[in-house]
């Protein structure tokens, strides 16, 4: 099961702003077409990134997924190609056990860097990144620090 959720209003107030109307109105990630692999992350509010600047952008979103899946976070192709804007970590990896973690509920942030010559402007409601759910394989090794997912659901090893 894969699903996006809003972080709680309490977490929203801590991470972003104490504005319930803004909280109620922001948009969940969405695919624009039937064949799109990526779910576009939509800006909660306007922001700009000056040339050479790095900015950490909150999404207000957390993602639940199966134990053997991850969510890859990437910039949209046009951001890098047209504007030379990149993710600071190039590709973000959100593991299944990040969902509902006790420190921030699994709130997904994107750290963007403008390596272009112009100010990069994003308006509220525009897409500024994308997430792609990916199933991954392991080589069957034992993991010493087995954990239960934050949501309280068992991981694969506990089900076997």
- List pLDDT tens digits, range 3-40: 999 999 999 999 999 999 999 999 999 999 999 999 99
For 12-22, write each residue's pLDDT tens digit.
999 999 999 99
For 26-43, b/e burial (b = at least 16 CB within 10 A) is bbebeeeeeeeebbbbbb
Nearest to 149 by CA among 93, 106, 91, 92: 106
Structure tokens at 44: 């909660």
The domain locations on the chain are 3-137
What is the reported pLDDT for 5?
98
Global pTM reads 0.87
Averaged pLDDT for residues 49-69: 97
Structure tokens at 34: 């039937």
> pLDDT above 70 covers what percent of the chain?
89
Of the candidate CATH numbers 3.30.70.100, 2.40.50.140, 2.70.40.10, 1.10.10.10, the domain formed by 3-137 belongs to 2.70.40.10
For 71-92, write each residue's pLDDT tens digit.
999 999 899 999 999 999 999 9
């Amino acid at each position: 099961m894969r699903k996006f959720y809003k972080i709680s209003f309490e977490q929203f107030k801590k991470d972003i702003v104490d504005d319930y109307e803004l909280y109620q109105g922001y948009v969940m990630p969405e695919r624009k077409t039937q064949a799109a692999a990526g779910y576009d992350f939509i800006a909660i509010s306007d922001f700009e990134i000056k040339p050479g600047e790095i900015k950490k952008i909150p999404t207000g979103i957390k993602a639940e997924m199966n134990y053997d899946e991850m969510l890859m976070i990437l910039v949209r192709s046009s951001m890098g190609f047209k504007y030379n804007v990149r993710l600071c970590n190039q590709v973000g990896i959100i593991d299944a056990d990040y969902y509902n973690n006790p420190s921030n509920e699994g709130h997904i942030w994107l750290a963007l860097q403008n390596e272009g010559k112009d100010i990069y402007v994003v308006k509220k409601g525009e897409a500024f990144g994308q997430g792609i759910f990916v199933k991954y394989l392991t080589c069957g090794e034992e993991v010493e620090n087995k954990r239960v997912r934050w949501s309280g659901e068992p991981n694969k090893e506990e089900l076997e």
